[in-house]
Structures are given as structure tokens and as C-alpha cells.
Structure 1
Amino acid sequence: MVFIVSEVTTIPIELENYITLFDVPLPTQDEILEIINDFITDLSISVDSEVINEIALSFKGLNEFQIRQILNLAYQNGGNITKNDIHLILREKAQFIKKSGLLEAINFSGTIDDVGGLDNLKKWLYQKEKIFSNLDKAIKFGVDVPKGILLVGMPGCGKSLTAKATATLFKIPLVRLDVGRLLGKYVGESEENMRKALQLSEAISPCVLWVDEIEKAFAGIGESGGGSNVTTRLFGQFLTWMQEKDNMVFIVATANDISKMPPEFLRKGRFDEIFFADLPNSDERRKILNIHLKKRGKWNKEIDLISLITATEGFSGADLESVVKNTIEAAFISGKDTITTEDLLDSIHETKSISDVLKEKIKNLRTIISKFDIQPASASDSKG
């Protein structure tokens, strides 16, 4: 009897009839707990049972060798195993991402407070944060692990920023799935890359998996042609994984236009919730202007925000950021120490807002959104 051990399943056709495949699964939750307890017993150290359960969840997706290696690192760093070692586990998992080349690890230093407005969406995320902060207790209580959200709406209205801030809020890694980098030149290579990418996201879970502009990532679904056929198969593979997954991968998908996405993508079970991010209302524009002025140290009580809010009707969050940046740049070039309301109004008048540039597209998008049962990301407010 001959045993052949390999991470890649490539069997010559001539040998297929003589080989039996055995898939060695990764350790289960109970097996991970056993590995941790054996390690603790061998070193004669005392670790709280709650800490053991928390770090056991973070080890999910790793093999026994990797778990023991990280436990050794944690013990050498502090002489014990604590809840803080979860950060070490997540850093080590991030190394797997970089080595694979299939997913992109995103470093983001901002917070959910950097998102101006979208209060309904932020309130929902804060509720889910309580689950991710107490995963072990939540699971034991019978709470389902959140699947994810789909953010639909206007360009420049905070969808991508929210995706990044979600990972910071949940205190878990953020990885981006770029479908373009999965496409291979050989038959079946793209599907294999997708399978590996999804397996990798499970291995580093809990994490946020961000799919930006998903309608473009899977462009050509259902159409005829070689490239479109591959995209359709990848999309089907992704949908099946979304429906069946029972791991701690929280999906944040963003889209500008969902009219071309198949109905099965939007049905319940794929995402926990779908939110629509419209152009910011008057209160949100005030918050966004405040955020960008304070971020750059140029906020002062002399600035007349009421005038600015009135003048920026139809501006997106990206438009408002551009106004602040351009105003500060012009003030610096002119040798000014501060900026005034008039300076900001001048920049506003020189800026073509998204509602001017994409007027017809925005109108069509709102018409499409009205046909779906989608939650507004913003709290109700008069459109100032």
C-alpha cells in the first residue's frame, strides 16, 4: 500500500482507477479545543475557559500544526494565553492572504464615525457588532452568525467606506475579492481559483469579505460566449457558497446598479439585509462637511453651514469631500491661514455635482430601486 500526500489534486488519467482520494478535514471546534487544552496542560499554565472558547473560534480554518505554532508564539510573547492573543491569530491568518494572491488584505485605519449619515445602516451594524464581539456566547445562545449585507446606491455615497469601516467596527480582518484576478487562461482554472479564494476566506474567518461593484465583477452573467460562460459559472459558484456557508465570513457587497443582477441574488438567505444609499440629505451633508473640515483641522464656528447645506443639494459625499479639499488647497496656495464660508461657496459653485453629471442615470436608478423591497440606509430627513 502506498500513501501519497499532496495539497494539490492532480492525478494522471492512467492512475485514476488505482487511487482512492481521502480528504483530510481541518480540525473541528471540539478538536481545536482539545489541541488548546493539551497545549495548556503540557505547559502547566492556567487559562480561563471563556478565553479558551474565544480563541478556539479564531483558530477555525487552521490546521493542527498552524494552531500549535501560533500558541507557541503567544506563549513566548507573554508567558501565557490571553484574549489579546486573538489579534496575533488574525495577523498570522493575514499572512495566508498575502501568500495566496487570490484575495487582497485591506488595511484601513478609519472608523464607522468617518461615515457621515447612513444612520439606519450604522444602527444595524452596531447591533451585529455585539454578536461579533461575543461570538462564542452568541453561538451558544443560539444566535445565527450574520451572513452579510448588500449596499446599493449612488456612486460616492459611502458604500465602499462603510465596507472598510465595518471590519474596523467588528474588529476583524478585511479582505477584498477581486473576481478579475481569479480568471485563468486554462479550462477550469478560474473555477478552481474561486474555490480556493472562498476556502481561504473561511480559513481566516472571522473576517469581512468585501466584493466591490459586484455587478461589474460578474458582468456578462447569462450571456453567450466563452468569457460570459466562465463568469456565469463563477457567479453560480459564489451564490451556492453564500447560501450554504455556515462560517464566520461576513460579506459586504456593493453595487451601483442591480438591474442586471439575477433575482436569485437578491432573495432572502443570500444577505441578512439590503440597504440603499441615496444622495445625502441636508442633515447628512452637514455631518459630512463637519467630518472633512475637522479631519483637516479647518473647522471653525464662523463657517455658515446652513448656507453650505443649501448650496450643496444633490451633492454626493465624494463631491462634498472634493469641495473641502479644493478649498483648503486654494487657501494654502493663496497664503491664507483659515478658510471662510465664501471660500467654500466658491468651490461649490465650481464643482459639478454627481446629480448634474449623472442626472438621467440617477433617475433610472431610483426608479429601479423603487421596485425592490430595500431598506433606506439613511434616517428620514427632508431633502435639504
Structure 2
Amino acid sequence: MQLLKVLSKEIIKSEWNMHMIEKLCHYIDASFPIIYLHTFEETKADRIIFDVAKKVGRGVVEWDASNGQTEWDVTRKDPLIKKRLFEGTRTIEETLSTEKEGDSLSQKILVLKDAHHFFDQPRIVSMLKDIGHMVLSGRVETTIFIVSPVLTIPSEIEKYTTVLEIGYLDHDELEGVISEFFNDYEMPSISRTLLNEMVMAFKGLTEYEIKNILALAYAHDGGFEKEDLKFIHDQKQQVIKKSGILEMIDLKESLEDIGGLENLKKWLKRKAAIFNDLNRAIEFGVDMPKGVLIAGVPGCGKSLNAKAAAKLFNVPLLRLDMGRLLGKYVGESEANMRKAISLAEAVSPCVLWIDEIEKAFAGIGGGGGAEVTTRLFGNFLTWMQEKTSPTFVVATANDILKLPPELMRKGRFDEIFYVGLPNDAERKKIFEIHIGKRRKHDLSSINLNELVLKTQGFSGADIEGVVRDSIEAVFAEEKQRLTTNDILNAIKNTNSLSEIMKDSIDKMSKEYERRKFKNASLK
């Protein structure tokens, strides 16, 4: 068994980090006044700025709301060693006043944290604008780094500001954080297989969160075992919840819980073979899977397929609530979309489920409030077209007629499936599944063929409702067993979906045939 043992405590510098350091050095040499580092990884940003400062030969002064003005010790290896420059806590205005004078901070880098909270103050914005003008005119040699998880740029300083995204820790950095922690606490070595599992599980978490989880595992049993991966899963759920946009769904359903839809299930199994051996598939020449659009009749298993796909792929399932994206400020909705995509990509490989996507993008191309929706739709389409991360999108739609045609163009999704009302064989399987879940010992005595004959035009949800109602009635009447007649009685009291939505279903079915969407069921 190959064991993990790392001698160096330095975090591995990835190629991306090296590229970012080189880029920032060029920006400083070219006298870019303000560089906005948009990131949730403050510690990672500190390390990058620290390496940049050493390369360009500049000192670093930092301001944040809790500590005021501090100075970094760039002579040491650790960028987190800082000393307070002044007694008490200096305000951001006092720090920027010093900067405007151009003396104490000349030939230095000024790092501003928590600054976005002050961008509604005209004096602060004006001071930043004045500094930007002074740098561009050559009157002072200083570079301001604004480090923030919130991208808010006042219009007055837009032309002085360059925005760069610093993503979540990559594979090498995650491995470095884990290795450093194991060395510091002299924890027992682990296998390379478990290390790789940890790295994949930690994707999307910050260095601070990772170290907290490792400390929790260390306090629990003095090491890290496979069962400790549950700590990571719990923390990841917290991260997703705190985002307020995405929701992590617990995986309970599998393909075995779906009656029928064999074409769709077979297709998902093929994609699962790629996801479960992604690196080798890509080396072989297989394209990264994009996702699937599943459209069709309500209550026929579309959402169930999204959940089963995540379980089949053995990855987290994230649900994107498009309604939560909409914000009250200009640009807030687009920022929320970027945040959701960024988080999904950081957590990837994962399945991103967008339920009832036609409601999310209703009113595309209209005026007024629909302009925000149109921009969100454009951002989503661009991402779907260009994404390279293992984020598999499962979009479900009840009414294909309300979907913008651009969404169904080749290249957005790998495939579009139509889910119709279940046929005889599928209804029989659905009855088996739902009766077997609740009254398995009664299943052998029930005439499933008779039930199938009496449920023409029933959806999967209709059938589940019938089984649930019949079992409830049997319990209330204090009977000992569920019989065929009990279920037939429940069928008589149920109006099928084909009766309730006959015109809509006929219209949609013709449209699916005209567009030649792939049928999810075997004919």
C-alpha cells in the first residue's frame, strides 16, 4: 500500500497559481492602479500577493475592519505574519489618506479587505479614484489589491480597476493543505487511495473549513479514516446552505426506483461509466459530458431521474433554485448566477439539477423586468456551451413549448429526452415498486395485470397516489392485508392525468414527435 508522507510544509504551487503570479507582476510593472481579487479564498489570495510582492520587491501593507492597518513581514516564508503599524485601529479613510500623500506607502502594495462595505460612502470612493489617477499619472508607485468575496465596483473607479477571479483550491493545493496538517499534528499516514478520495470530497471548501474538518477528525479518533469522510459531507452541506442559492439533496432514489424509461436509464448508465473513470475517459478522447434535458408530462419520473443520476454517478446532487438568483440591485442576479456556477464547479464532479427550467427563463426577449431574465439566460447558455468542468446538468421541463429554442440547440445538452405517460409494462413495474416498498409481503397475491388494464392514461405519480390511498384505507378499516380490490377501489376514485390534462398532453406529444426528441421509454 502506497502511503502519504510529505516532508515539505509548503503548499504546492499549481500551474494556475504560477500563471496568476506572473500576470499580477506584469500588471504591477504596467502601473495598474487597482486590482480586484474576487475570491472566497482569502488565505490563498494572501499567498499569491505575498509571492508577487517578493518577486517585484515591494512591501505589503494591509487594512481590514478588525485590525486596521498592518504590515506583512515579506522576509519570512509565512505570508500570514503581520504586525500592527499604529496604536489602535486605523480607519480605511485614514489609510487611504496616507496613500494619497504618496510617502509611507510608495513602492508598496496596499491590500484592502472588507472594503466593499464602505463603497456606499462617497468620500471613500472619491479617495480611491484620486489614488487611481495619481498612479496612472506617475505621481505615486502603489498598487491597491481589493480582496473580497463580493464583487461590487462603484462606477467612479471602474476604469481604474482590473477584476481577477481566484477560484477554490485545486487538486495540488488541496493535497498540500491535507499533507501539511498531517505533518503538523503527526497524524498516522494514509493510503494514496484515501488521500485522493479526501481531495475530491474537499473540493469547494476553503482552507479554513478543511483544517476545521481535519481537526474534528483528529479530535474524534486521532487520525483520518474512510468513515471520517462524513464530516466533509456535513460541512459541504453547510457551505451549500449558506450560499442561499444551491441546495444539496440527499440521495435516496436509484434507477431501480424508476419504472420504465429504459432508453433514458441506459443512456445515463453510459454517462456514469465516463464519470466513474473520468481521467481515463478524457485520455481516451471522450468529451466531458454536459448534461441532459428531460421534458414531458408531469409526474412521470423526470425529477426522480435527476436524483437517480447523481446516485448512479456517485457524486453530490445540487439543486439550483432559479427564483433565488433574482436580486433587488443592479447586477446582483448575474452575480448570483456566477456564484452558483462557481460553487457547482468547485464542488464538481456533481449533478446540477434545474427543475422546471421553462419557468426560470419565462419572458426571454421581453422588455422591463424580463431583461434580467434574458441576461441570466445568456450567462447560462454561454456556460453550458463552454464549460469544461465535470458538472453534469440535469434540466427538467413540463412544457417544452415555453422553452426558448436556443436552449435546445446542439451543443447545449448531450441529449434531449421526452417522457410520456407510462405504457402497460411500465405501469406494471411502477405498481411493483410502490407496493413492494410499502407492503412487500402482499405483492405476490395482487393481480398486477388487472391493475394495469384499469390505469390507462395514469402517470407514475397517479399510480403512487393510488397505492398510498389504498394502503391508508386498509389500515383505517383495520384489515390485515392489501388486496387487488382495495387498489381497484382507489383507482375508481382517482382522475388520471390524461383526463385532467388531455388537450395539453396531446399538444405536447405532437410537438415532441415533430422535434424528433428521443423517447425515454422503449416503444
In the other structure, the counterpart of 2:129 is none
In the other structure, the counterpart of 2:233 is 90
Q: How many residues align?
A: 379
In the other structure, the counterpart of 2:261 is 118
Q: CA deviation at 1:76?
A: 4.7
Matched to 2:488, the amino acid is L
String of CA shifts for 1:8-53, please: whole Å, max 9, x gaps. 2334445556555554343333333444444455547433334433
String of CA shifts for 1:255-292, please: whole Å, max 9, x gaps. 11222323321123222222111111111111101111
Moved more, 237-246 or 164-173: 164-173
Residue from 416, 429, 432 that aligns with 1:274: 416
SS of equivalent to 1:208: strand
Residue from 289, 303, 307 that aligns with 2:446: 303
Alpha carbons 1:94, 1:204 under 8 Å: kept: no
String of CA shifts for 1:139-159, please: whole Å, max 9, x gaps. 555544422211111111011
Structure 1 residue 10 corresponds to structure 2 residue 152 = yes
Alpha carbons 1:221, 1:228 under 8 Å: kept: yes
Cα distance in 2, alignment partners of residues 306 and 22 from structure 1: 63
RMSD: 2.5
The structure having more radius of gyration, on CA atoms, is 2
Q: Where does 1:16-165 land on structure 2 (aligned, <5 Å)? A: 16=158, 21-40=163-182, 43=186, 45-77=188-220, 79-81=222-224, 86-139=229-282, 141-165=284-308
Cα distance in 2, alignment partners of residues 275 and 124 from structure 1: 10
1:37/1:174 Cα in 2 relative to 1: closer, same or farther (>3 Å)? same
1:333/1:45 Cα in 2 relative to 1: closer, same or farther (>3 Å)? closer
Cα distance in 2, alignment partners of residues 44 and 196 from structure 1: 35
Q: CA deviation at 1:230?
A: 1.4
1:73/1:360 Cα in 2 relative to 1: closer, same or farther (>3 Å)? same
Q: CA deviation at 1:194?
A: 1.4
Matched to 1:129, the amino acid is A
Residue from 395, 399, 402 that aligns with 1:253: 395
1:348/1:81 Cα in 2 relative to 1: closer, same or farther (>3 Å)? same
Runs of 4 or more above 6 Å deviation: none
The structure with more strand, counted as a fraction of residues = 2
Moved more, 335-344 or 354-363: 335-344
Alpha carbons 2:296, 2:400 under 8 Å: kept: no
1:21/1:239 Cα in 2 relative to 1: closer, same or farther (>3 Å)? closer
Residue from 309, 322, 344 that aligns with 2:465: 322
SS of equivalent to 2:515: coil
1:71/1:144 Cα in 2 relative to 1: closer, same or farther (>3 Å)? farther
Cα distance in 2, alignment partners of residues 300 and 7 from structure 1: 56
In the other structure, the counterpart of 1:361 is 504
In the other structure, the counterpart of 2:434 is 292
Moved more, 338-347 or 125-134: 125-134
Alpha carbons 2:151, 2:335 under 8 Å: kept: no
* TM-score normalised over the length of structure 1: 0.89
Alpha carbons 2:205, 2:239 under 8 Å: kept: no
1:160/1:19 Cα in 2 relative to 1: closer, same or farther (>3 Å)? closer
Q: CA deviation at 1:55?
A: 3.3
Residue from 470, 483, 486 that aligns with 1:343: 486
Moved more, 321-330 or 361-370: 321-330
1:85/1:138 Cα in 2 relative to 1: closer, same or farther (>3 Å)? farther
Matched to 2:305, the amino acid is T
Cα distance in 2, alignment partners of residues 44 and 144 from structure 1: 40
SS of equivalent to 1:275: strand
1:26/1:100 Cα in 2 relative to 1: closer, same or farther (>3 Å)? closer
SS of equivalent to 2:402: coil
Q: Gaps spanning 5+ residues in structure 2: where?
A: 1-107, 113-146
Alpha carbons 1:54, 1:136 under 8 Å: kept: no
Cα distance in 2, alignment partners of residues 22 and 190 from structure 1: 19
In the other structure, the counterpart of 1:196 is 339
Cα distance in 1, alignment partners of residues 200 and 504 from structure 2: 45
Alpha carbons 1:152, 1:255 under 8 Å: kept: yes
SS of equivalent to 2:429: helix
Alpha carbons 2:439, 2:482 under 8 Å: kept: no
1:134/1:78 Cα in 2 relative to 1: closer, same or farther (>3 Å)? farther
SS of equivalent to 1:226: coil
SS of equivalent to 1:301: helix
Cα distance in 2, alignment partners of residues 6 and 179 from structure 1: 24
String of CA shifts for 1:151-175, please: whole Å, max 9, x gaps. 1111110111111222223232222
Q: CA deviation at 1:245?
A: 1.5
Matched to 1:189, the amino acid is E
Residue from 506, 509, 513 that aligns with 1:370: 513
Q: CA deviation at 1:99?
A: 1.0
Q: CA deviation at 1:226?
A: 1.5
Alpha carbons 2:306, 2:394 under 8 Å: kept: yes
String of CA shifts for 1:42-94, please: whole Å, max 9, x gaps. 54743333443343333333344444444444455455455555544333222
Structure 1 residue 209 corresponds to structure 2 residue 357 = no
SS of equivalent to 1:3: strand
Alpha carbons 2:300, 2:422 under 8 Å: kept: yes
Cα distance in 2, alignment partners of residues 142 and 92 from structure 1: 35
Larger relative contact order (Cα-Cα within 8 Å, sequence gap ≥ 6): 1
1:294/1:226 Cα in 2 relative to 1: closer, same or farther (>3 Å)? same
1:218/1:18 Cα in 2 relative to 1: closer, same or farther (>3 Å)? closer
Alpha carbons 1:147, 1:250 under 8 Å: kept: yes
* TM-score normalised over the length of structure 2: 0.67
Alpha carbons 1:55, 1:85 under 8 Å: kept: no
String of CA shifts for 1:217-245, please: whole Å, max 9, x gaps. 211112x2322211111111111111122
Cα distance in 2, alignment partners of residues 6 and 195 from structure 1: 15
Cα distance in 1, alignment partners of residues 279 and 217 from structure 2: 20
Alpha carbons 2:187, 2:223 under 8 Å: kept: no
SS of equivalent to 1:27: coil
